Amino acid sequence: MFASLQGRSAIVTGGSKGIGRGIAETFANAGVNVLITGRSQADLDKAVADLSAAPGKVSGLSADVSSPEDARRVVAEAVERHGGLDIVCANAGIFPSGRLEDLTPESIEEVLAVNFKGTVYIVQAALAALTASGHGRVVITSSITGPITGYPGWSHYGASKAAQLGFLRTAAMELAPKQITINAVLPGNIITEGLGEMGQEYLDQMASAVPAGRLGSVADIGNAALFFATDEAAYITGQSLVVDGGQILPESHLAIAEL
């Protein structure tokens, strides 16, 4: 049994949609007060309205994770609204596809700025507040793509997701004396609003590559993130947890066909 996280304060970047919204919902249902961010005010307003019945209070703030100034503003608002900050979920990310021959300095920079630098900026901005909490927690949303697997069209994305894990290991050492843990969740294919629009046939095809026989839900990721945020996970840091229904395990498509 895990101790209650009721009344704790969290930031979830990219919490207006998809996986981030799922993380925010899981935390709010555990009584955590959650500040969600994203650039679109309309998406933030919708998520806040949809999550208004949860025991934890959910509020939104429009901010761009690739801006260090915005990161500092987000942290200051969370501290102001919740009276402190205990948990940061560095989740916001983009995944534009582009084959190697089509990548440009701008397209590479954009993916690194949001996915990698955005992770560093929010953790940096939160350092003092997480230290003051006495049980600070950082949970990064990385991916299986990059750290473990590859996918044509996503070399820059995969590099940004692997970069998050390179950052994580040294950050974990620097943060440990402050009693702050930092860990990562590596999702497989998770159903979000965007993926849902691709149609059932496409979803079924994707699910057929997963030993569990289904795609992941945003709650699957939210639950893993929540575990890292618990008091009981205080001695786990610098680690990454694959949440993918076994997707990375088959050594070939023949192995899946044997199931």
For ligand NAP, the closer of residues 19 and 32 by Cβ is 19
Question: Which among 13, 24, 44 has a CA at the least distance from the CA of 218?
Answer: 24
Residues with a known catalytic role:
157
Helix (H, G, I), strand (E, B) or coil at 151: coil
Q: Which is nearer to ligand NAP, 86 or 244 (CB)?
A: 244
Q: Given the rule CB under 6 A, which residues bind ligand NAP?
A: 13-14, 16-20, 37-40, 43, 64-66, 91-95, 114, 141, 143, 187, 189-190, 192-194
Q: Which is nearer to ligand NAP, 133 or 164 (CB)?
A: 164
Query: 68-82 vs 118-133: helix axis angle to the nearest 10?
Result: 30
CB of 31 to ligand NAP, least distance (A): 23
In 10 A of CB 108, how many CB atoms?
16
Closest CB 103 distance from ligand NAP, rounded Å:
17
Judged by beta carbon, residue 132 or residue 212, the one nearer ligand NAP is: 212
Helix (H) or strand (E) holding 61: strand 58-62
CA distance 127 to 133: 10
Q: Round to whole Å and give the CA distance between 237 and 168.
A: 9
Strand partners, 149: 145
Query: Quick one: which of 111, 175, 114 has its CA closest to 139?
Result: 175
Nearest approach, Cβ of residue 217 and ligand NAP (Å): 10
CB atoms within 10 A of CB 197: 8
Shortest Å, Cβ 65 to ligand NAP: 4
